[in-house]
Amino acid sequence: MSDSRRPSTADADVTARLREAITRGQLSPNERLIEADLAEHFAVNRASIRMALAMLDQDGLVVRLPNRGARVRAVSDEEAIEIAETRLAIEVMVARQAALRGDDAGRTRLRAIEKDMRRAVTENDAAHYSQCNAALHRELQRMAGNATANRILSTLKSHLVRLQYRVILLPGRPRKSLAEHRAIVAAVCAGDGDAAERAMREHMISFTRLLKQAIGAARLGGF
Amino acid sequence: MSDSRRPSTADADVTARLREAITRGQLSPNERLIEADLAEHFAVNRASIRMALAMLDQDGLVVRLPNRGARVRAVSDEEAIEIAETRLAIEVMVARQAALRGDDAGRTRLRAIEKDMRRAVTENDAAHYSQCNAALHRELQRMAGNATANRILSTLKSHLVRLQYRVILLPGRPRKSLAEHRAIVAAVCAGDGDAAERAMREHMISFTRLLKQAIGAARLGGF
DNA sequence: GTGCGCCAAATTGTCAACAATTTGGTCAAC
DNA sequence: GTTGACCAAATTGTTGACAATTTGGCGCAC
């Protein structure tokens, strides 16, 4: 659903593809991004690549040094924690706003996602659980209707994707996470902003703590 | 201090200048940004302008439509409120982190700024007060040491500059704001994260409320 | 007079060539 | 053997020309 006759430039297209290649880990952190090579790989000219690199630099996914080219930005461990903390602050606000401003359709969808989530846990389907998790947060964002927060969250998430799968795969995580999610859904559906905020804070603190553990473990075991 | 022999490209330079022109209001909201004109005005070639527009688009300061050019993005009233709410969430976190992680030098500077601020209020110097205000928030950000949050805050602020001066100039605002700032400084210097968070929340809620008032007033009186 | 198609001007998108800079290696001098 | 200058290759930065698209106006039919 992206190659129809809708007006779109090569630039925007290649930017999206390059962004995905980075977030999906097909390009390693600190890997050099050589304009000519990328231009050939994506079958566009260098100007488009240049544009894409400039935008991804602004996004924080790429670092560019004058006359010295671009690299995939490596998020350090400290940075990953910073990002998680900032994400926490915004997700908490989003949960509150979703509780206060959400509509009936949203609440219905929220309950459906929760149900689906329960099934994923009983069936031990980690992949599906991860999808439900994303869907739930997405629905909360939609209900909150704060486009600014949504934009920021999506860029923050794009910086963490590489790391967060470690957390999801931790033993016992889905069961714990499920309970937290149910508390969030209950509070939001009840229209209780304070409770939603508390529940989301609990959830994100728990996530952040595990992220720190995962990072610490990787630091010891990785090299 | 920008034309020395430090390596810098025309692109980065013109991006900063264009960004400033937009935030300072020298370019009106919705104004068309024609590449050739800008290139002539800034004495660079179109490619640099193109790059700058792409980055500012990513920043949210400019909107670009394929084949139809770029315009200065107009932040709607609803959006301004969204931005203020999101900023609140992050500033609150920054205040907490500043309280927990701040160093002695930072605390000293904070007290100095507060003192300066008091003087600005007694002397009714709104411009100087505004500077102190910026300095205080900047110092808190430095103390918190959360680069991610800092980056986000600076873009959020750049979207609000046009509006916030209305709030500062409201009668009685500096005196009220001063009391709020003193509470923040006290809590942060005491290393009390909870209190710092509360104080900053109070302050930002008060700011957001006034922003809404200012927006409402402008909507009635403006046209 | 109103609507419709068409053309020209303005503007953005794409491209390739050229200039400037960095990088890595070689060779000579010490 | 090490240091330093210098050169060549690789890469990025800049420029101008050309192609594609949109926009606004003009004339024509009705």
Task: Using a CB–CB cutoff of 8 Å, tell me whether A4 touches chain B.
Answer: no
pLDDT digits (tens, 9 = 90+) for B65-81: 999 999 999 999 999 99
What's chain A's average pLDDT? 90
Lookup result for tokens 């600005």 = B120
For β-strands B32-33 and A62-65, DSSP reports them as: unpaired
Q: Is B67 close to A93, i.e. CB distance below 8 A?
A: no
Q: Which amino acid is at B29?
A: P
Chain B interface test: which of A14, A81, A148 (most B C-beta within 10 Å): A148
pLDDT at res. A5: 43
Confidence of residue B12 (pLDDT cuts 50, 70, 90): confident
Q: Tell me, in Å, how far CA of B26 is from C1' of D13?
A: 29
Q: How many CA atoms lie within 13 A of A139 on its CB side?
A: 24
Task: Tell me the β-bridge partners of A65.
Answer: A69
Question: Distance, in angstroms, between A217 CA and closest chain B CA?
Answer: 23
Predicted confidence (pLDDT) per residue in A138-159, tens digit: 999 999 999 999 999 999 999 9
* Residue that is written with structure tokens 């910026």 in the block: B134
The owner of tokens 């097909």 is A26
Binary contact (B54, A51; C-beta < 8 A): yes
Name the residue type at position B22: I
Distance from CA of B124 to the nearest CA of A (A): 35
- Interchain contact B8–A (C-beta under 8 A): yes
CA of B15 to C1' of D10 (A): 28
A71 — phi, psi (to 5°)?
Answer: -135, 155
Give the distance from residue B164's alpha carbon to the nearest chain A alpha carbon, in angstroms: 18
pLDDT at A209 over 60: yes
Contact status, residue B56 vs residue B62, Cβ threshold 8 Å: yes
Q: What is the structure's pLDDT at B5?
A: 42
pLDDT at B3 exceeding the cut of 60: no
Q: Rounded to an integer, what distance in angstroms lies between the CA atom of residue B95 and that of residue B202?
A: 12
B89 CB near a chain A CB, below 8 Å? yes
In whole angstroms, give the CA distance from residue B106 to residue B141. Answer: 10
At A7, is the pLDDT very low, low, confident or very high (cuts 50, 70, 90)? Answer: low
What residues form DSSP beta bridges with B63? Answer: B71
Q: Which two tokens stand for residue A8?
A: 């779109």
Whether B185 has a pLDDT exceeding 90, the answer reads yes
Q: Quick one: DSSP state of residue B202?
A: H
Measured CA B144 to C1' C10 distance, in angstroms: 50
Q: Does the pLDDT at position A197 exceed 90?
A: yes
Residue B201 pLDDT > 50, yes or no? yes
Cβ distance of B8 and A66 shorter than 8 Å: yes
Of residues B163, B178, B77, the one with CA closest to residue B124: B178
- Give A31-84 pLDDT, tens digit per residue: 999 999 999 999 999 999 999 999 999 999 999 999 999 999 999 999 999 999
